[in-house]
Amino acid sequence: MAGSKTLTIIKPGAVTNEYIGPILARINEAGFHIAAMRLLRLNLTQAKNFYAVHKEKPFYESLISFMTSGPVVVAILEKKDAVKEYRKLIGHTDPNKAQPGTIRRMFAESMERNAVHGSDSDANAEIECDFFFSKSERFSNFDPVHF
C-alpha cells in the first residue's frame, strides 16, 4: 500500500550501546508494525550505494566508515503515513536540534552517530526496502496472506 512503509536502520553505535531493544520499544509504542527485520554488517559497496546521494558531501567518507564499522539492524516499518510519522518519531538529523522524547534525542551520540536512519520519501522508502528485503521476507499487516 502506497505511503504505508518506511525503512529504518539502527546504526552502529546504537547497536554497540545495546539500544536495539529500547529503540524497537519506542517504534512499537508509536504504533509501527515491524514487517521485516535483519541484523547485518554493511559492506563498503552496500554503504556507498545506500548513501550515494551524499557522495559530494564533506561528511561522506566518514559516514561510510561509520556505517561499515559494525552491525546494524535494518527493518521495514509499517503505519499510515509511515515516512512522515517515522521522521517525526526519530527527530532532527542533529540530535541537539531533535525534540525531547525523539529517538535521536534519546539515543544519538552526535550528528553522524545519530542512532537511526529513516527514509525521506515514499519513493526512497520503496528503493530502500527493496535494497534489503525480498518480497518473501516481508510480513505486511496490509497483506495478511502471510499470517
Question: Active-site residue numbers?
Answer: 117
Binding partner of residue 80 among ligand IDP, Mg ion, none, CB cut-off 5 to 8 Å per kind: none
Closest C-alpha among 69, 29, 67 to residue 50: 67
Binding partner of residue 59 among ligand IDP, Mg ion, none, CB cut-off 5 to 8 Å per kind: ligand IDP
Closer residue to ligand IDP, CB minimum distance, 59 or 131: 59
Contact present, 11 and 109 (Cβ < 8 Å): no
Q: Which residues bind ligand IDP (CB under 6 A)?
A: 54, 59, 63, 93, 111-112, 114, 117, 120
Q: What is the secondary structure of 11-48 as a DSSP string?
A: -TTTTTTT-HHHHHHHHHHTT-EEEEEEEE---HHHHH
Closest C-alpha among 23, 15, 116 to residue 71: 15
Q: Which residues bind Mg ion (CB under 5 A)?
A: 120
Q: Which three cell numbers stand for residue 137?
A: 521476507
CB of 146 to Mg ion, least distance (A): 29
Binding partner of residue 8 among Mg ion, ligand IDP, none, CB cut-off 5 to 8 Å per kind: none
Closer residue to Mg ion, CB minimum distance, 15 or 83: 83
Burial class from Cβ neighbours inside 10 Å (0-12, 13-18, 19+) for residue 9 reads buried
CB of 86 to ligand IDP, least distance (A): 11
CB of 147 to ligand IDP, least distance (A): 32
CB of 144 to ligand IDP, least distance (A): 31
Binding partner of residue 48 among Mg ion, ligand IDP, none, CB cut-off 5 to 8 Å per kind: none
* 146 contact partners, CB below 8 Å, separation of at least 6: 138, 139, 140
